[in-house]
Structure formats: structure tokens, C-alpha cells
Structure 1
Amino acid sequence: MSEASVAVHADPDLLAQAVAVRLVVKLLDAQADRGEASVVLTGGRIAAAVYRAVGALPARDAVDWSRVDVWWGDERFLPAGHPDRNETQARAALLDALPLDPARVHPMPPSDGPAGDDPEAAAAGYAADLAAAAGPGALVPHFDVLMLGVGEDGHVASVFPGHPLSGGTGPVSTVRDSPKPPPTRLTLTLPAISTAEEVWLVASGADKSRAVGMALAGTAPAPLPAAGVHGVRRTLWLLDRAAAAEVPPRLPR
């Protein structure tokens, strides 16, 4: 398991810009090493700010976007194009402006997709897509970097503390009666998330500070999903100063 390290930035704008630079560099490094790159996206306000910041970087054009695979860590089970879908947010903030290969963009199914309004079937379909991209004997493909937001309660993706997942033991599960609306979601499981080469947990705001602090210190009264994920090579917490207010001292920076 990789050791967690923390990078703290003064405010949300600087955080978004710093994460954007890291992301472009990570994709360039992956393409230099492997000829291609793979990223797993998240949703939320800070994620949208990161995507807009990537779009504003001149260095974004150094990435060969036609050789980038785009996946999602979770999704609200809503119709395609719904403004609350993470896919819709990412496309509006960045993806629609990039020369991506459409065949390498892998959104989680919407509620009006081929699986219809059956979220378990949709989760199984996304798991099949992951397995097909992974090749023989693997459940998920190589993820160079997987980005996560952190909820006030310590949830990541759509894995909430103490809230059950359904859909079997595969890499994708269904969430019903979610503690946050909308009630039905699809999510990668914590083991699937932790297959990524690097996992980045991005949090902004004082309302995240308690969950961030407990996750990093291991002091939560019950298991926190944010404390249960890690990258194979690197686990990186990217925070603004407000979110980092309760980070324990002496963590690697």
C-alpha cells in the first residue's frame, strides 16, 4: 500500500490550478511510458474547477488526447445529459473541447440507456466494459490516475459510510437510497478504486476538514471510505488551506 502524502494550497482557485497542472503532467508521463494514458474522473464543484483549469492550460495541447481513456468513478443514475450527472459536468467543463477519441470515453450508463432504468443491469454493463478494456483475467484496466472528491461525511465516489452497496462483488456497485440526492447511483467499489496507479483525493472548504483530518489520522469512530482507498504507487491528498485545517502533523508533504 502506498503512503499518503498531502499537498496544501492557499485557496480553491490555486488548488484547482495545481491539480490541473499535475493532471496534465501525469498524462504526459503516462504517454511517454506506455504510449497512452487513462484517467478516472469525479464530480463536484472542485472537480469542475479543475477541469476548467485544464482547459485553460496551454500545456494541455501537449497531451495526445486521442490516446487518453476517460472513465468515471461514480455517477448519478439519471437520464443522459441531465445537469446533475458527473458526465454532463465534465463534458461542459472540459471534455467537449478536447480532441478525444469517442470510443475511449466511457461514461457510466444513464437511466435511459441500453439497460433502461435497471441500475443493477447498468452496473453490470459498466463492469463488462471495464473487463473488456482490461483484457484476459483482469476486472479493470490500468488507471494511471483516479480522482476523488471527499464528502463532508468522508464518502468517496458514491461509497457512503455505513451505507450498503448492491450488485454483487464486482468492481461496480449500485447505491440505492443514497444519503445524498439523487437516491440511485452507480459507483466503483473501494477495491476497484485502489487498483489505480495513483489515487488523488481532492477537497476544498472548511466543511471537509473534519472528514479529511479523521481519514488521515485514522481516528474516525466508524470506517470512513476516504480512509479506505489508496493508489498502488501513490496516494495524494490535494487540499486547500480550509480543508487541511485538521490534518495531523508530520504527514509526508
Structure 2
Amino acid sequence: MSALIVEELPDLHAVIRSAADGIEEVLERARQGKGLYEDGMARIVLTGGGAGIGTLEELARRKTDLSNAHFFFGDERNVAKDHPDSNEGQARIALLDAADIPEEQIHGMGLGSVDMDSAARAYEDVLATFAPKGFDLHLLGMGGEGHINSLFPHSAATKEQEKLVVAVEDSPKPPAQRVTLTLAAVALADDVWLLVAGEEKAEAVALLKAGAPAVELPAAGAHGRKSTVLKVARNAL
């Protein structure tokens, strides 16, 4: 488990640029055979929110070569991928569709009209098939109360220690029904980056830096095997 590294950046745009630079480095390492897998492919977990989607838009603007990556999602709302609330849908609009990535390299959760528990089990199977050793990189946003993915303070999903994917029926942030990767899944990433900006996040950032318990501040439970980096704008400090 890696210790938290804090990378202070001027603003949201700098957070986005730093994340995009880092993703390009992760992709290049994989191409050179220096990633987690020996097939030249990186495994990257995407996140939503302003910084997460902004990073994808920056990669699209740069026309970054994403052909050697499998993409996964940290969580998803119980909506179809063409719904405005869908994380997969937002990622496709921001980057994935325009980047002409083969569908077999985009691993959505397929929600909207399926049983939530069944969807969670199915996504565990997806991870076992396409990311059996875990991820090169897991991107995370953070809410003002410290939630990551759909792991909220004091929730059963946050306390889960064995399953990699669970259904959430009572998210305090609507929509209530979601599927999320757990802290156990986050821990399978070599690198974990938290992308954070906004004055409303300052209290949570302070608690994160102080090492608050994960059950109270889920972001504090996110650690990569090799690195854990908080890329934070100054307005969140």
C-alpha cells in the first residue's frame, strides 16, 4: 500500500493537464512492455465529474493514441448508456467514441434494465477476464463529503473488503441505484490518482491528508500498489 503523495496545482485546468500527461505516460509504458501486463495494453479505470470528464476532453483535444488501452468504469448509475447521467455515456461523448476505440476495449456495466446484483457479479467476471491482475491506473474524483466511485461515508459498499464490485441501492446522491468498484478493487491498481478541485472539497482534502478513517472518508481508503497521488487545485486546499 503506497503513501499519499500530494501534487498541488494552480487550478482545475492544471489538474486536467497533469492527469492527461500522466495517462499518456501510462500508455507509453504499456507500449514498451513496462506496464502491468505483457500484452502492450494498459488497463485504465475512468471517473466522471468535472476533472474526470475534463481529462478525457483534453485527451480528445490532443488526439492521444488510445488504441492500446482497455477502459473500465469506477461506478455507474442505473441508467442506460445513452442517458445523460451515465458515466459511460459521458465518457463516450467526451472521448471514447471519437477516439475510434474498438468496442471490445470499452467495458461498461450495462445498466438500465438489469438486476443490480446480477450486474455487479457480471462486472466482476469482466474484471476477471480483461484485468485479472488489476489495473495500471485508477482515476478517482472526490465529493465534498469524501466519496469516491459510489462509495459514501459509513455505507456497506465502503465497508466491503472482499468483493470487487457491489450494487448500491441507497446512494445519498441521486440516482439511488448504482454499481461500484470497491476499495478492494481500487487497491488492485498500480497507480491511483485522485483528481480534486473546488473550494467545497477543502475540508475533505484536509481530512484526507490527515489520514481520516476510510469508513468516514472513503477517499482515505484509496491506495495504489505503487503510487497514490492527490492532484489537487489550490482552491481545494
- TM-score under structure 1 normalisation? 0.86
1:39 equivalent in structure 2: 44
SS in 2 for 1:232: coil
Distance in 2 between residues matched to 1:48 and 1:221, nearest whole Å = 25
2:155 equivalent in structure 1: 163
Distance in 2 between residues matched to 1:49 and 1:96, nearest whole Å = 15
**Aligned-pair distance for 1:132?**
1.9
1:216 counterpart (199, 203, 209): 209
Distance in 1 between residues matched to 2:108 and 2:133, nearest whole Å = 15
SS in 1 for 2:146: coil
- Fraction of identical pairs, as percent: 37
Contact 2:213–2:220, Cα closer than 8 Å, also in 1: no
**Aligned-pair distance for 1:165?**
2.8
2:122 counterpart (121, 125, 142): 125
Task: Map 1:63-212 to 2 at 5 A.
Answer: 63=65, 65-112=66-113, 116=114, 118-134=115-131, 140-165=132-157, 169-212=162-205
**Aligned-pair distance for 1:120?**
0.6
Contact 1:38–1:143, Cα closer than 8 Å, also in 2: yes
Contact 2:30–2:41, Cα closer than 8 Å, also in 1: yes
1:22 equivalent in structure 2: 22
Show CA shifts across 1:98-157 (max 9, x none): 131211110112123xxx2x10111111111111224xxxxx443111000011111111
SS in 1 for 2:203: helix
Contact 1:111–1:119, Cα closer than 8 Å, also in 2: no
Distance in 2 between residues matched to 1:168 and 1:204, nearest whole Å = 28
Contact 1:194–1:231, Cα closer than 8 Å, also in 2: yes
Query: Which runs of at least 4 in structure 1 moved beyond 6 Å after TM superposition?
Result: none
User: Structure 1 counterpart of 2:28, which letter?
Assistant: L
**Aligned-pair distance for 1:18?**
1.8
User: Structure 2 counterpart of 1:17, which letter?
Assistant: R
Q: From the superposition, tell whether residues 122 and 222 of structure 1 become closer, same or farther in structure 2 (CA, over 3 Å).
A: closer
**Aligned-pair distance for 1:211?**
0.6
Contact 1:41–1:146, Cα closer than 8 Å, also in 2: yes
Show CA shifts across 1:201-236 (max 9, x none): 111101111111101112469631100110000001
Q: Does 1:229 align with 2:229?
A: no
RMSD: 1.9
Contact 1:67–1:101, Cα closer than 8 Å, also in 2: no
SS in 2 for 1:48: helix
SS in 2 for 1:174: strand
Structure 1 gaps of 5+ residues are 135-139, 246-253
